[in-house]
Chain A
Amino acid sequence: EPEVTQTPSHQVTQMGQEVILRCVPISNHLYFYWYRQILGQKVEFLVSFYNNEISEKSEIFDDQFSVERPDGSNFTLKIRSTKLEDSAMYFCASSHVTGSQNTEAFFGQGTRLTVV
């Protein structure tokens, strides 16, 4: 069964360093997303990406964040200068495009980012 895969599963980085979280969405999906879940808190939407551009982003997704689809399969989230409060589980997701009907998103296993 097709699935969204994320690498690495766990990343530890020093404050101020840049990190890149990687995702391979399901191959025939066209919408891609990043969400995060700070320990003990809600899952929060960060950004959605369609047709090689950001289609929607939240207030959390500020200038230190960026997303890219560098090739036909990968979808990345870059955090330029990590802060302690960026420590969270980051989930990548993808979904179909089916007209106006909202379809479910399929999530990866997540990358646990720890900023020290």
Chain B
Amino acid sequence: AQSVTQLDSHVSVSEGTPVLLRCNYSSSYSPSLFWYVQHPNKGLQLLLKYTSAATLVKGINGFEAEFKKSETSFHLTKPSAHMSDAAEYFCVVIDTGRRALTFGSGTRLQVQP
């Protein structure tokens, strides 16, 4: 069965410093992986996706993630945090041939001025 573990429930960084949000997945087959972001009182917006092409994936707003099969990880990074990045971030997995997304528990990113 597929699952994702987001290792940190809360991450706090200073504006202008790097962001690292960690995600490990468990999947029976070759998965597709996504990061979604949820700003307060807003819906879920896709940041980026990995679907077995390049292992380093670039997304919107300067975010990127690297798929590492040997470590079963898909960590989200950004070189320099901005105040507007403060939100909840979800790592999501879907197995090949399925449609249902499995969400991680989320990481709340706080950006300090």
Contact = CB atoms under 8 A, between A and B. Distances in A.
A104 B55 CA distance: 17
Nearest to B34: A104
Interface size class of A (residues with CB under 8 A): 20 to 34
Nearest to A95: B99
Interface in A71-116: 91, 93, 95, 100-110
Contacts of B100: 33, 45, 48, 56, 58
Interface residues of B, number: 23
Contacts of A105: 101
Most buried by A among B100, B104, B105: B100
Nearest to B95: A102
A29 to B, nearest CB: 12
Q: Is the interface of A mostly helix, strand, loop or mixed?
A: strand
Nearest to A4: B43
Interface in A29-49: 31, 33, 35, 42-45, 48
Contacts of B36: 107
Interface of B: 32, 34, 36, 42-46, 49, 51, 90, 94, 96-106
20 contacts: A33-B100, A35-B101, A35-B103, A42-B105, A42-B106, A43-B44, A44-B103, A55-B99, A56-B99, A58-B100, A93-B44, A95-B99, A100-B96, A101-B32, A101-B51, A102-B32, A104-B46, A105-B101, A107-B43, A107-B45
Interface of A: 4, 31, 33, 35, 42-45, 48, 50, 55-56, 58, 91, 93, 95, 100-110
